[in-house]
Structure 1
Amino acid sequence: MNPDSSALRPTAASISSESSDLELLTALAAGQVHALGILYDRYAKLVYSLAFKILENSEEAEDITQDVFLTLWRRNTYNPSRGSLSSFLTTMTRSRAIDKLRSKGARLRVIQRLQGIVRTEPSSTTPLEQASVGERAQLIRDALAQLSETERQVLEIAYYEGLSQSEIAKRLNIPLGTVKTRSRQGLLKLRQTLQDYI
């Protein structure tokens, strides 16, 4: 007679803060969400500290921390033979934080190029130079007019008020993911419209 395989699984009662990482991950894979809470208590400070060190932004570090633990829960790709769980979480955190920095850098470069288009030079006094500045400003207005109202609103708040995406989400009372999507789509449209000028 085959033994019942469920008897080999850790039960919710047997999982505690004293359980090993591997026991907790096994319990998590078996659907015991309580195990995630223990792992979070054990490693959240490590993950948050590293994310904050890279991003220098507490809200973005919190976003990364949540993302790392949600990923561990939904798609556990940790392999114990390749190192400790702390090393795995550190690697994932570093990767996510660097991706966020790259994404922010790309957005910043587009905004800086747009600023360069509309920036007026102090010595722009000739009619030809004034016409050129006016023409560039009109190009920007036309490009912004092609965005949806929601995309334009997010970009204008980021550009004119300097708010982070998390701050914009709070201001507009919408999910952070929605802000990220609108910002990304708006910047892509601006880049396409103005590709000959930036």
Structure 2
Amino acid sequence: MSPVCTGAPPAADDDLARGLAAGDETCLAVAYERWSALVHALARRSLGDTAEAEDVTQQVFLGVWRGRHGYRPERGAVGAWIVGITRRRIADALSARTRRADLAASAGTALALAGRPGRGEDPEAVLDRVLIRSELARLPAPQRWVLHLAFYEDLTQTQIAERTGLPLGTVKSHTRRGLRRLHGRLTENDRM
């Protein structure tokens, strides 16, 4: 199939949608030119932060490109589809903002309970520790137990196997699965 948006930009949204679905990057550029100002304005108005609105705008058009095969013309125009993606990305950004605020409040409470409020400790480091503990708590018990022994008690996998009575291969599997899950969740939190 020949690219739809190469040459003159398509006048009709249907042509643009067809080009996006076909993987024509020029059509993505045309969609960006047409709707990025609207997307940015919606995000800026909802979030109240220009930098965050720029991030949302990038995420929206990345979502347009990745989800181009899911667009259904019978459900509405391309512009409405893009606004729908924008609304979801704004909601995600607001939700992430709330989670960050909750984590910061938890970190502040943890410091206050520890009797060390503001003792020169890096708030980011405290927040990281709270986030990691929170994500560790969400792991299945065997993975959480093995990772706790490895990182908080500084045991080797052989020592963990001896202490727990688990076969060494099982300890290695729990470690690998737990680290993958943690990585996935922490990476997901970074994106938000």
**TM-score, normalised relative to structure 1:** 0.57
State whether residues 60 and 86 of structure 2, in contact with CA within 8 Å, keep that contact through their aligned partners in structure 1. Answer: yes
Offset, 1:81: 0.8
The 1:187/1:44 distance shift into structure 2, 3 A limit, reads: farther
State whether residues 118 and 136 of structure 1, in contact with CA within 8 Å, keep that contact through their aligned partners in structure 2. Answer: yes
Alignment of 1:33-182 (within 5 A): 33-76=25-68, 77-119=70-112, 135-137=114-116, 155-156=124-125
For 1:36-65, what per-residue CA distance to the aligned partner results, in whole angstroms no more than 9, with x for missing partners? 111111111111111111111111111111
Offset, 1:192: 6.2
| Equivalence for 2:13 | 21
Kindly report the root-mean-square deviation, in angstroms, between the aligned alpha carbons of the 2 structures. 3.3
The 1:25/1:54 distance shift into structure 2, 3 A limit, reads: same
Unaligned runs of 5+ in 2: 138-192
State whether residues 10 and 27 of structure 1, in contact with CA within 8 Å, keep that contact through their aligned partners in structure 2. Answer: yes
3-state SS of 1:10 partner: coil
For 1:8-31, what per-residue CA distance to the aligned partner results, in whole angstroms no more than 9, with x for missing partners? x63623x41x52112012122323
* Separation (CA, whole Å) in 2 of partners of 1:60 and 1:98: 12
**2:168 paired with 1:188:** no
The 1:111/1:69 distance shift into structure 2, 3 A limit, reads: same
The 1:107/1:11 distance shift into structure 2, 3 A limit, reads: closer
Offset, 1:116: 2.9
Unaligned runs of 5+ in 1: 1-5, 120-132, 145-151, 160-182
The aligned amino acid for 1:188 is L
**TM-score, normalised relative to structure 2:** 0.58
The 1:192/1:28 distance shift into structure 2, 3 A limit, reads: closer
* Separation (CA, whole Å) in 2 of partners of 1:68 and 1:188: 27
| Aligned residues between the structures | 136
* Separation (CA, whole Å) in 1 of partners of 2:135 and 2:66: 36
For 1:64-117, what per-residue CA distance to the aligned partner results, in whole angstroms no more than 9, with x for missing partners? 111111111122122111112222111211111111111111111121122234
3-state SS of 2:116 partner: helix
Identity over the aligned pairs, expressed in percent?
Answer: 27
